[in-house]
Structure 1
Amino acid sequence: MKIDHLQPKNSVELLLINSLGVIYAELNRFSDAEELFKIVNENFSSCRDVNSENLNVIHYQQGCIFMKEQDYQQALNSFVLGLNRINQLNSTFMLGNYSSKILECYQQIENDN
C-alpha cells in the first residue's frame, strides 16, 4: 500500500487515518493497519488541535486491535499512552474505557506467564 504521502494536520484527519487502520485490521490486513497507525502516531504531536479530547480514542482503538491479535504487551503500551494523554489533558473522556482495558491486559499477561 502506498501511503507515504499521508500527513495528517488536524484531529479529524488523524481520526480518519486511524479508523482506516482499524478497518484494515478487521480485514486481517495487519501490516497495512500498522503502517497507518505508525503515520498517526508520528504525526500526533504536530497536529494543530492536539489537545482535542476526540483524539483520546486513537490509542484505545489501536490497543483494541493489538488485543485482537493477542499482543497484550503492545496493547498495554498503547492503552497506557492513551491514559497518560488523558491525565495530561485533565480529561475524563474514555477514562473508564482505558482503565478496564489496562486491567484486562494485565490479566491476560499474567495468565500467559
Structure 2
Amino acid sequence: MTGYVQFIDTAKSFGPVDVVRNTSLGLERNSLVVFLGPSGCGKTTLMRMVGGLDEPSSGSILLGGEKVVRPDRRRGMVFQSYSSFPWLTVKNNIAFGMRYRKDLGATERAERISH
C-alpha cells in the first residue's frame, strides 16, 4: 500500500462495539478526501486516530511513513464543536495545549499560564 496517510488493517472498538473494522486505505499527500456517512459510522474515530487522539484497537496508521502513536505538534485537528474542557480549571485548560511542547521549559510554561 502507498500513500502519505496509510491505514493498515486498522480497527477500533469501544467495548463490544466495533466502530472501525479492518480498514486499509492509502491517501496521497495534498489530496482532498471526504469521509461521508451517517452519525456513528466511524468518521470522527478515523480522524481522531490519525491525529493520535485515539489508538487503534488493532492495525496501524502511518503518516509520512511514521507510525502514529500519540498527538504531535506537527499535525492538528479542527473540531466540529470546540470549547474548553468543562472538567478542567481555567489554568488546566490553558496548560492542556502545552503538555506536548518539548520546546517550553517549566518556567516559561508557568509564565504563559499565569499571563
Q: TM-score, normalised by structure 1?
A: 0.29
Name the one with the larger helix percent: 1
Name the one with the larger strand percent: 2
